[in-house]
Chain A
Amino acid sequence: MTLLLQFLFSGLTTGTVYALVGIGFNIVYNSTSIINLAQGEFVVIGGLMMWFFLEGMQLPFAVSLSLTLLTAAVVGLLMERLTIKPLLKKGDLLLMIMVTIAISILIRGILMFKFGKDPYTYPPFTEGEPINFYGAVITQQTLWVIGITALCIVLLYLFFNKTMTGRAMRACSLDVKAARLMGINVSNIVMLSFIISAIIGAIGGIAITPISLMEYDKGAMLSVKGFCAAIMGGLGRSRGAVAGGFTLGILESLTAGYIHSGFKDAVALLIMLFILFVKPAGIFGKAEIVRLRKF
């Protein structure tokens, strides 16, 4: 029982990152119909840049955090303006998928050049005794990760429902042409969606690195798992991605704990294939909901 609780908590922790990557997928997908396979790289950027500012340059925590998020936002911005924008109007989805792969390799290459192949980590946000919960040990960082994710979700909800820009983004995801006719600058919305998804990914990376370390090549797997979380909840529905991310994280940690740790990564892939083959609208989604795509 204690063991099971422990697995559930560690699954929940990794699940939050998948959820954040999944939300990032959805935000970009909703505004562009692009599957951004570079999404996972932003998590790695978050973790490694945070290390760079915090440990490498010995800057204070708040400054490091701001600089890391700024870096991720700039990378997202550059990615959209330099590669997505010039190619998007061609309307070739095949090309768009390839471009996001190219960017992911480029980012990975830059990170490897800068940081090498070693894993990096920094101390947890707060020092303190781990909490004992019915025998399961929960570190304070785990609480930080879950809390930060929850905060992100609430902020995103407010942004998409209460602000004009957020509503404009939702309008674009429903019908780009109609949105343009209403005077919404669609090009800016696309740019914004890349910036937001980059920041969300980076937040996940910053929060998880003290627990699970970060290295330059983690991005590809994170992309795959985040995508898995996104389609579990039905592509385009961010509440679904959160549920998908947590479910995936827990299933992974149970597989690693009870079956074999080597097959941990296969879980996401098998779920993904299963959903694509059996229920493309997502486990938590109905086919009709996919068309509505609400946050």
Chain B
Amino acid sequence: MTKGNAIAVLLLGILVILFPQLTTDNYILTIAIFIGINALVAIGLTILMGYAGQISLGQAGFYGIGAYISAILSLYLGLPVLLSMIIAIAIASITAVVLAIPSLRLKGHYLAVATLGFGEIIHIILHEWGPGGPSGFGDIPPLSIFGYILHSTLEYFYLIWLCIIVIMIFSLNLINSMTGKALRAIHDSEIASLTLGINITKLKIKVFVLSAVYAALAGALYAHYVTFLSPSGFSLFYSVLVLMMVVIGGISNIWGGIAGALIITILPEVLRGFKEFDILVYGMILTLSLLFMRKGIVPLIIETYKRWISK
């Protein structure tokens, strides 16, 4: 981890501790929790897009697998929540491997289309076979860690943001390691990295699985926090939302995932009362940021800051 990133993680940690002192409003804390859950998914996709140069349009599928399997295992089979979460994440990562091996072997962007198909299939399965079908099911047990049951919004807030800090530290270290450097090389030039002896396909698969694990973890946390699931939250639209978070936050920097999640999660709250506009607004934001702000917010802020410092 670089010095700048270490300071950023520290600042994030302090912010997380202080945030509940600033507000006791449950509504704001709840939004902060959803920002955190979305950020987990977005961080995974940022690494996949920014470092492996691949795009996934099926993150909602892994998010859904994480949520539904963890919920079903703990509710209907009575497994401890933590164990069912781990099983759900394991299943998501196996699915990711199965999906990645054939599609990443091909050159080009087959993963984009394969994941799109995968995500929609998961959505259809949840719709047809999920408990409660299209209307969903409730009474999912809340998170409990070794017998301690979390109930307050504040506890979930701390847990989810602790997860993010841990995952940020892990991801930043990964990016700075040999693996990360190899990944960056892949993104810049596949042929050059091949000649340097980097096993491109294997690395891409690893990163894809990592992104699936983050998404499944987010899904499981969501399921046990909200305690109600229905298939509507796990459609293609969610995958596109995550894509928007990454694009707006900045593909080349994993902090972009958090920034993007912040903006896209707050947006519907701001747009409340403009229900018929929302898709239009999303479309405009995504199109405009691809055309005029391709780097994303976080790299833009860093650049401006550096220019300001050097003056």
In the complex with contacts A102-B287, A105-B286, A272-B117 CB distance below 8 A = yes
Give complex CA distance A87, B287 in Å: 12
Specify the main secondary structure of chain B where it touches its partner.
helix
A103, A110, A272, most chain B CB atoms within 10 A = A272
Do B286 and A269 touch across chains, with their CB atoms under 8 A apart?
A: no
| B55 with A97: CB separation less than 8 A | yes
Instruction: Give the docked Cα–Cα distance between A224 and B239 (Å).
Output: 15
Q: Is A158 an interface residue (CB 8 A)?
A: no
Count chain B residues whose beta carbon lies closer than 8 angstroms to a beta carbon of A.
41
Question: How far is B106's CA from A94's CA once the two chains are assembled, in angstroms?
Answer: 15
Contacts of B283 in A (CB 8 A): 102-103, 105-110
CA distance A24 to B124 in the complex (A): 26
Complex interface residues of chain A between 103 and 154 (CB less than 8 A to chain B):
103, 105-110, 112-113, 116
The reply on B168 being an interface residue by CB < 8 A is no
- Would you call A86 and B121 a contact (CB within 8 A)? no
Partner of A94, one of B109, B116, B127: B109
The residue in A82, A113, A269 that gathers the most chain B C-beta atoms within 10 A of its C-beta is A269
Asked if A276 contacts B103 (CB within 8 A), the reply is: yes
Taking residues whose C-beta sits less than 8 angstroms from the other chain, chain A's interface range is 35 or more
| Binary contact readout B101-112 vs A (1 if CB under 8 angstroms, 0 otherwise) | 011001011101
- Minimum Cβ distance to chain A for residue B68 (Å): 17
Q: Shortest distance in angstroms between B46's beta carbon and chain A's nearest beta carbon?
A: 13
B114 partner residues in chain A, CB cutoff 8 A: 272-273, 276-277
Q: Does A227 contact B (CB under 8 A)?
A: yes
Q: Taking CB as reference atom, which chain A residue is nearest B239?
A: A101
A61 at the interface (CB under 8 A from B): no
Contacts of A102 in B (CB 8 A): 283, 286-287, 290
Cα–Cα, bound, A275→B112 (Å): 14
* CA distance in complex: A227, B53 (Å): 22
Q: Per-position contact with A for B34-72: 1 when CB-CB < 8 Å, else 0?
A: 000000000000000100011101000000000000000
Q: Do residues B106 and A276 form an inter-chain contact, with CB atoms below 8 A? A: yes
Q: Do residues B281 and A109 form an inter-chain contact, with CB atoms below 8 A?
A: yes
- Min distance, Cβ B129 to any Cβ of chain A, angstroms: 9
Given contacts A105-B283, A109-B281, contact A265 B120 (CB under 8 A): yes
Contact B287 A265 (CB under 8 A): no
List chain B residues, Cβ under 8 A from A280.
106, 110
Q: Is A98 an interface residue (CB 8 A)?
A: yes
Q: Judge whether B247 is part of the interface by a CB distance below 8 angstroms.
A: yes
| Residues on the A chain within 8 Å of B54, using CB | 94
Q: Is the CB of A269 within 8 A of B279?
A: no
Contacting pair A113 B290 (CB below 8 A): no
Q: Which chain A residues (260-284) contact chain B, with CB distance < 8 Å? A: 260, 262-263, 265-266, 269-270, 272-273, 276-278, 280
The A218-254 residues at the B interface (CB cut-off 8 A) are: 220-221, 224, 227, 231
B116 lies within 8 A of A224 (CB): yes
Contact B276 A116 (CB under 8 A): yes
- Kindly provide the distance from the CB of B273 to the nearest chain A CB, expressed in whole angstroms: 15
Q: Is the CB of A108 within 8 A of B240?
A: no
Which chain B positions have C-beta within 8 A of A273? 114, 117-118, 121
B247 touches A269 (CB 8 A): no
Question: Is the beta-carbon distance between B102 and A277 smaller than 8 angstroms?
Answer: yes
Are B124 and A262 within 8 A (Cβ)?
A: yes
Residues of A within 8 A of B57 (CB): 101
Quick check: is A3 within 8 A (CB to CB) of the other chain?
no
**Docked complex Cα distance between A87 and B120 (Å):** 28
State which residues 271-311 of B face A: CB under 8 Å: 276-284, 286-287, 290-291, 294
A to B CB contacts below 8 Å, 5 in the list:
A93-B109, A94-B55, A109-B277, A112-B276, A266-B125
Nearest first, the 6 A-B pairs at minimum CB distance are A109-B280, A106-B283, A109-B279, A105-B283, A277-B102, A102-B286
Please name 4 further chain A to chain B contacts, defined as beta carbons within 8 Å, in addition to the given A110-B283, A220-B236, sorted by A numbering: A99-B290, A102-B290, A224-B116, A277-B103
